[in-house]
């Protein structure tokens, strides 16, 4: 029995939305960092804001708010577990640029710029 048109259409729509979110996430980490923000939200297959700037010694918190879709935060020297809700935090003590990704979803990445 062939698939019903509504099921095929729903599947195609989900694919288009996923691909569009992945493309936005790719550009997002290279965006101008937002200052004064210490919380990043993982939702709709992207990190928002995708780039932040904080002072050394600041703890950054990631909030997982994509319902049943798991995400993680993995960078050089730090990694969260896969989570569908709740928060995870990491303190950035040294100045530099810290890129991170969700290893579950290709193209879902972000950046923390730490100043002295």
The reply to whether the predicted model has a pTM over 0.85 is no
Task: Record the tokens describing residue 15, joined without a space.
Answer: 């694919």
Domains of the chain: 5-115 (2.60.40.420)
What's the whole-number mean pLDDT along residues 79-97?
A: 98
Task: Record the tokens describing residue 39, joined without a space.
Answer: 């919380």
Helix or strand (DSSP H, E) at 40: strand 39-43
- 49 burial (CB, 10 Å; 0-12 / 13-18 / 19+) is middle
Contact 42, 36 (CB under 8 A): no
- 32-71 confidence digits (pLDDT tens): 999 999 999 999 999 999 999 999 999 999 999 999 999 9
- Contacts for 30 with CB less than 8 Å, ≥ 6 apart: 51, 111
């Amino acid at each position: 029995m062939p698939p019903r048109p509504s099921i095929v259409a729903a599947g195609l729509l989900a694919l288009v939305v996923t691909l569009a979110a992945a493309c936005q996430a790719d550009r997002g980490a290279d965006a101008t960092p937002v200052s004064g923000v210490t919380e990043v939200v993982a939702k709709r297959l992207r990190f928002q804001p995708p780039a932040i700037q904080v002072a050394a010694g600041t703890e950054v918190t990631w909030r997982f708010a994509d319902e049943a879709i798991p995400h993680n935060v993995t960078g050089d020297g730090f990694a969260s577990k896969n989570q569908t809700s709740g928060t995870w935090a990491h303190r950035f003590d040294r100045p530099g640029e810290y890129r991170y990704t969700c290893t579950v979803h290709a193209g879902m990445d972000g950046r923390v710029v730490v100043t002295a």
